[in-house]
């Protein structure tokens, strides 16, 4: 049984959704189980229903069924979806919260506490989903749209360090992506969109889209792909080649050799190069 991801940001949630979709979409649910008593009455309503889609929305996930019911989950820090052959449970100390079984496959949610069953009509007014900005991983989201949001009055005076964690701005970004995006855009976390000219905002928007989609494509890797290939050929482990700056405090910048620094912005750790991001 494959693990559903290690870091609950947008790319990892989208990868989980894709794995679950391969197992469930187009199939009928032969058995449904919920750990929480308030959800247990929904098991009978979902059993026998076809799974039409599995979607990620930012860091949340929806399993959508043909009767208009949706299993909503947000993994927060500890939740994990595991997908595998039905009847073959993984070895884990985690607590099972949701089990969705077809005749041959299973999608199992462990350790999460934020789980609901919602109707299609509930989605638009949901306290979390209704507040989400455009998902950075959706095909119709591009740098033009993101640049326009950076220029909006409600966002333009926010520090970039805080704004890039705000799911109402762009959904799916998280802590490692924030550090990597700011490094690629050569920007300090204290700057605000209003401090940037049009070209710099466009460059930041392009970095937001490019780095998030690279993380999706490469399984959480944000470093330059050519550099990754070289480092892997040299035998460098994943932690050594995965990121430009995130988690690399005290190590040399991959571009200029300056020592990477760690600070705290909006209550979360952020990594940066004091030379490359001096402006």
Q: Residue holding tokens 């952020």?
A: 270
Q: Is 8 a catalytic residue?
A: yes
Please state whether beta strands 114-119 and 69-74 pair in parallel, antiparallel, or not at all (unpaired): antiparallel
* DSSP code of residue 9: S
What gap in Å lies between CA 66 and CA 70, rounded to an integer? Answer: 9
Q: Which of 9, 12, 180, 203 is catalytic?
A: 9
What gap in Å lies between CA 245 and CA 138, rounded to an integer? Answer: 26
What gap in Å lies between CA 141 and CA 202, rounded to an integer? Answer: 14
Q: Which of 22, 217, 251, 268 is catalytic?
A: 268
Residue 79 backbone dihedrals phi, psi, to 5 degrees: -65, 145
Q: Is 59 a catalytic residue?
A: yes
The side-by-side arrangement of strands in the sheet containing 69-74 is 51-57, 60-65, 69-74, 114-119
Q: Is 37 a catalytic residue?
A: no
Q: Is 268 a catalytic residue?
A: yes
Q: Residue holding tokens 């892997």?
A: 232
Contact 99, 89 (CB under 8 A): no
Q: Which of 57, 59, 201, 254 is catalytic?
A: 59
What gap in Å lies between CA 176 and CA 245, rounded to an integer? Answer: 9
Q: Which of 70, 69, 74 is nearest to 57 (CA)?
A: 74
What gap in Å lies between CA 166 and CA 163, rounded to an integer? Answer: 5
116: its two tokens: 């609901």
Residues marked active site are found at 8-9, 59, 268
């Amino acid at each position: 049984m494959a693990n559903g991801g290690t870091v609950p940001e947008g790319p990892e949630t989208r990868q989980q959704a894709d794995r679950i979709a391969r197992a469930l979409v187009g199939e009928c649910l032969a058995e449904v189980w919920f750990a929480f008593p308030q959800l247990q009455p929904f098991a009978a309503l979902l059993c026998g229903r076809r799974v039409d889609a599995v979607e990620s929305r930012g860091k949340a996930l929806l399993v959508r069924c043909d009767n208009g019911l949706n299993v909503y989950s947000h993994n927060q820090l500890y939740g994990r979806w595991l997908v595998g052959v039905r009847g073959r449970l993984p070895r884990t100390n985690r607590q099972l919260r949701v089990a969705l079984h077809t005749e041959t496959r299973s999608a199992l949610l462990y350790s999460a506490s934020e789980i609901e069953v919602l109707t299609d009509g509930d989605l638009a007014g949901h306290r979390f989903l209704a507040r989400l900005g455009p998902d950075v991983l959706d095909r119709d989201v591009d740098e033009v749209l993101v640049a326009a949001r950076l220029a909006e009055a409600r966002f333009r005076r926010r520090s970039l360090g805080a704004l890039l964690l705000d799911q109402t701005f762009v959904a799916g970004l998280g802590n490692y992506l924030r550090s990597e995006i700011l490094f690629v855009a050569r920007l300090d976390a204290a700057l605000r969109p209003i401090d940037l000219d049009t070209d710099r905002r466009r460059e930041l928007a392009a970095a937001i889209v490019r780095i998030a989609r690279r993380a999706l494509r490469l399984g959480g890797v944000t470093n330059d792909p050519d550099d990754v290939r070289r480092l892997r050929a040299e035998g460098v482990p994943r932690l050594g080649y995965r990121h430009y700056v995130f988690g690399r405090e005290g190590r040399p910048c991959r571009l200029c050799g300056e020592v990477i620094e760690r600070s705290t912005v909006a209550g979360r750790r952020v990594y940066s190069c004091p030379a490359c991001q001096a402006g």
